[in-house]
């Protein structure tokens, strides 16, 4: 594990490089640190703005800075910089369309030992219901680096989900992320469409599966519809998989596109069942244990996937 | 008392008063016609806005709304948009015919402030948010070495929003002396007076404790308003300044001033017919003279 660095460090290292060359690049944080950020704070103090533990203020001050011509990244713990500030985001960044990049640390069940206040399993649904905001679900270092650079020049608001865990890299550093999704294994009829850290889980499962299953990584929402429709050509069975409540999440987004395009493929949505509510939110012992209560741990998924794609 | 303008012409207190009277009357007519608008919220801050726009406090070019060197004016209490729209039309940001289309099909605007109207910086209506944008603009101006000021007008009721104080802390910590905050202290929210609801007092001490240079004025006295704005021209303070303007909600109309539950309402045409022909829309008379101000301002 010693060789791994987190997506967060890759992301902020890249921004640091860009900020050194461009004094308009600024980071607004709500009392957050990280190795890459510490360097930024020490060496570029005038471009590092700490508002204290005040996420709502971070969004509106960041928006004011953007109106003043700054290229703004607002960074805090994910549930607080999204749901706590939802109305600030809605007014300043969606209605007024002031472009900032919101960076949320610790999405999904990343903060497995911190309890439900720190989990974020509702944000894709909530934020994709707002116009003028694009979500990027980062699960790879090359992807983190690509978006750090891309988001220095924006004309609408973006939200970057940063997972806390270390993961293997999936993509080559020169990979073209502009389509917002990628098909990771060959196969046409059986698909697992997934996002964020669950992509790694899905990849491991299809590798060991007796069936031929392709994995599609959706790393940008709203889903790029023409690319998506092209990518699922020939599909007969689809599983969607997400570490997120099911209503409004990735599975819902996939079903909306299929429905609106009159495509009749059965879709099995796997994720956190809303009916279990927050029943398992005080379970501890690691992320995989919490997932197991929701039936999306590797062991449970292996059974479901092999059964579903059997015929 | 008079004020010398940049073209060496003089502006007398009476000129300000006449302009305020005209703006209030036009605003009232507009809101009555549309049966919409927070008339009393508009009238408490009319004199402040008139001073800003006609007293050469704000730097702006109505022919070039996005002029880079303009002062930014953030009307954080976005419900007072009708009076701002009347002023913006009057100083030439857009045609006055737009005012007749207030809240009508094909019209440019309605009750709450929107940023696509020429001369307007932000969309406001959700209280407590515009102020943070103003602080971001002020910090951005400093980072860009720009000399313009940012003026933010808040309602006193808006100061119940916690986000106001998040921004206040931020502004004073960052010594944003290019941010001039004005609080329209009209003592009245929707249902009741502030001191009956949740007491805001000691209000100026709260701002002082947050690190502000506090100026308390009569928000209907043009000499006091202009004097307060004059302080900041030289940026003689390192701290940000807040001007707490003691105002009357519904100033100009005895029948509406200091009346709870008149927030967010426009008088009916019948009521307007009674107010306006006799021009009971006062220029000079102190509204609320028969009210128990102790009860209003101290909650006793």
A55 and A112, same domain (yes or no): yes
Identify the closest residue of chain B to A87 by CA–CA distance: B126
* Assigned domain for A287 exists: yes
Phi, psi of A267 (to 5 degrees): -120, 125
> From the CA of A166, how many Å to the nearest CA of chain B?
34
Average the pLDDT over each of A146-155, B37-46, B251-260, B290-299 and give the range with the smallest value: B290-299
Residue A101, chain B, CB below 8 Å: the answer is no
In chain A, how many domains are there?
2
A185 and A158, same domain (yes or no): no
The DSSP call for residue A22 is -
Domain range spanning residue B179?
2-298
A141 and A43, same domain (yes or no): yes
3-state secondary structure of B184: strand
A78 and A121, same domain (yes or no): yes
* Assigned domain for A226 exists: yes
Asked if A56 and B121 come within 8 Å (Cβ–Cβ), the reply is: no
> From the CA of B281, how many Å to the nearest CA of chain A?
35
Q: Which of B123, B131, B140 sits opposite A96 (nearest CB)?
A: B123
Q: Which residues contact A291 (CB under 8 A, 6 or more apart)?
A: A109, A243, A297
A207 and A297, same domain (yes or no): yes
* Assigned domain for A52 exists: yes
Domain range spanning residue A224?
181-308
Q: Residue A121: which CATH number? A: 3.40.50.970
The full length of chain B comes to: 300
Q: What percent of chain B has pLDDT over 90?
A: 75
As a whole number of angstroms, the distance between CA A129 and CA A123 comes to 10
Tell me the average pLDDT across B236-258.
89
Q: Mutation test of the interface with chain B: which of A60, A73, A86, A99, choosing the one with the most B Cβ atoms within 10 A?
A: A60
Residue B288, chain A, CB below 8 Å: the answer is no
Residue B294: is its pLDDT beyond 90? no
Mean pLDDT of chain B: 91
A227 and A294, same domain (yes or no): yes
Asked if B136 and A61 come within 8 Å (Cβ–Cβ), the reply is: yes
Model pLDDT for residues B64-118, shown as the tens digit of each residue: 999 999 999 999 999 999 999 999 999 999 999 999 999 999 999 999 999 999 9
- Cα A83 to chain centroid distance, Å, stands at 15
Q: Residue B185: which CATH number? A: 3.40.50.970
The closest of A57, A44, A52, A55 to A17, measured between CA atoms, is: A44
pLDDT of residue B96: 97
The full length of chain A comes to: 311
Asked if B137 and A62 come within 8 Å (Cβ–Cβ), the reply is: no
Residue A67, chain B, CB below 8 Å: the answer is yes
A194 and A149, same domain (yes or no): no
pLDDT of residue B278: 43
Asked if A65 and B137 come within 8 Å (Cβ–Cβ), the reply is: yes
Maximum pairwise Cα distance, chain A: 61
> From the CA of A152, how many Å to the nearest CA of chain B?
17
Asked if B129 and A88 come within 8 Å (Cβ–Cβ), the reply is: yes
In chain B, how many domains are there?
1
Q: Residue A248: which CATH number? A: 3.40.50.920
Q: Which residues of A touch B146 (CB under 8 A)?
A: 68
Facing residues of A48 across strands? A27
Q: Which of A46, A60, A96 sits opposite B136 (nearest CB)?
A: A60
Facing residues of A76 across strands? A104
Residue A30, chain B, CB below 8 Å: the answer is no
A25 and A122, same domain (yes or no): yes
Residue B149, chain A, CB below 8 Å: the answer is no
Asked if B163 and A60 come within 8 Å (Cβ–Cβ), the reply is: yes
Q: Which residues of A touch B133 (CB under 8 A)?
A: 60-61, 63-64, 67, 92, 98
A83 and A196, same domain (yes or no): no
Strands (E), chain A: 25-29, 48-50, 71-77, 101-105, 133-137, 157-162, 181-183, 190-194, 214-218, 220-221, 237-245, 266-272
Q: Which residues of B touch A57 (CB under 8 A)?
A: 132, 135, 163, 166-167, 170
A217 and A101, same domain (yes or no): no
A128 and A189, same domain (yes or no): no
Touching A: B residues 97-116, CB under 8 Å: 115
Residue B144, chain A, CB below 8 Å: the answer is yes
A120 and A188, same domain (yes or no): no
Per-residue pLDDT of chain A (311 residues; tens, 9 = 90+): 445 688 899 999 999 999 999 999 999 999 998 888 999 999 999 999 999 999 999 999 999 999 999 999 999 999 999 999 999 999 999 999 999 999 999 999 999 999 999 999 999 999 999 999 999 999 999 999 999 999 999 999 999 999 988 888 999 999 999 999 999 988 889 999 999 999 999 999 999 999 999 999 999 999 999 999 999 999 999 999 999 999 999 999 999 999 999 999 999 999 999 999 899 999 999 999 999 999 999 999 999 999 999 97
Identify the closest residue of chain A to B165 by CA–CA distance: A57
As a whole number of angstroms, the distance between CA B186 and CA B38 comes to 14
């Amino acid at each position: 594990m010693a060789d791994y660095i987190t997506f967060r460090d890759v992301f902020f290292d890249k921004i640091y490089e860009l900020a050194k060359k461009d004094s308009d690049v600024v980071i607004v944080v709500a009392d957050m640190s990280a190795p890459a950020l510490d360097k930024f704070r020490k060496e570029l103090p005038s471009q590092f703005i700490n508002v204290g533990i005040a996420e709502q203020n971070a969004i509106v001050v960041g928006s004011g800075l953007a109106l003043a011509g700054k290229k703004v990244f607002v960074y805090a713990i994910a549930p607080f910089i999204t749901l706590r500030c939802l109305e600030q985001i809605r007014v300043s960044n969606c209605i007024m369309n002031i472009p900032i990049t919101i960076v949320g640390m610790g999405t999904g069940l990343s903060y497995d030992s911190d309890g439900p206040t720190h989990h974020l399993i509702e944000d894709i649904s909530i934020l994709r219901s707002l116009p003028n905001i694009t979500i990027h679900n980062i699960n790879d270092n090359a992807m983190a680096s690509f978006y750090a650079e891309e988001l220095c020049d924006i004309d609408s608001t973006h939200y970057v989900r940063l997972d806390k865990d270390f993961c293997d890299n999936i993509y080559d550093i020169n990979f073209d992320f502009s389509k917002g999704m990628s098909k990771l294994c060959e196969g046409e009829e059986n698909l697992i469409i997934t996002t964020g850290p669950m992509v790694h889980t899905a990849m491991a499962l299809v590798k060991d599966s007796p069936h031929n299953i392709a994995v599609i990584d959706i790393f940008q929402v709203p889903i790029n519809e023409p690319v998506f429709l092209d990518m699922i050509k020939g599909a007969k069975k689809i599983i969607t998989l997400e570490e997120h409540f099911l209503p409004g999440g990735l599975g819902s987004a996939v079903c909306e596109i299929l429905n609106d395009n009159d495509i009749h493929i059965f879709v099995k949505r796997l994720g956190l069942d809303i009916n279990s509510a927050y029943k398992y939110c005080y379970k501890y012992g690691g992320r995989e244990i919490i997932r197991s209560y929701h039936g999306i741990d590797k062991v449970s998924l292996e059974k479901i996937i092999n059964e579903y794609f059997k015929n | 008392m008079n004020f010398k303008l940049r073209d060496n012409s003089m502006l007398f207190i009476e000129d300000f008063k006449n302009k305020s009277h005209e703006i209030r009357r036009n605003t009232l007519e507009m809101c009555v016609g549309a049966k919409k608008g927070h008339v009393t919220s508009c009238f408490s801050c009319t004199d402040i806005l008139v001073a800003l726009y006609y007293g050469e406090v704000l730097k702006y070019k109505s022919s070039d709304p996005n002029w880079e060197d303009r002062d930014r004016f953030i009307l954080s209490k976005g419900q007072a948009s009708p009076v701002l729209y009347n002023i913006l039309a009057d100083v030439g940001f857009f045609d006055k015919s737009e005012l007749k289309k207030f809240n009508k099909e094909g019209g440019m605007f309605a009750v709450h402030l929107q940023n696509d109207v020429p001369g307007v910086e932000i969309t406001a209506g959700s209280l407590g948010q515009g102020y943070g944008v103003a602080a971001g603009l002020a910090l951005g101006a400093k980072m860009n070495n720009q000399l313009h000021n940012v003026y933010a007008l808040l309602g006193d009721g808006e100061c119940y929003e916690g986000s106001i104080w998040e921004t206040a802390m931020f502004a004073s910590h960052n010594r944003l002396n290019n941010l001039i905050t004005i609080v329209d202290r009209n003592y009245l929210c929707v249902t009741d007076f502030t001191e009956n609801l949740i007491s805001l007092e000691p209000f100026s001490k709260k701002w002082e404790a947050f690190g502000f240079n506090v100026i308390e004025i009569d928000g209907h006295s043009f000499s006091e308003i202009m004097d307060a704005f004059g302080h900041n021209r030289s940026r003689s303070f390192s701290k940000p300044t807040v001007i707490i303007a003691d105002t009357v909600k519904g100033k100009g109309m005895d029948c509406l001033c200091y009346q709870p539950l008149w927030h967010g309402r426009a008088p009916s045409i019948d009521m307007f017919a009674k107010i306006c022909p006799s021009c009971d829309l006062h220029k000079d008379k102190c509204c609320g003279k028969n009210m128990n101000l102790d009860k209003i301002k101290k909650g006793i």
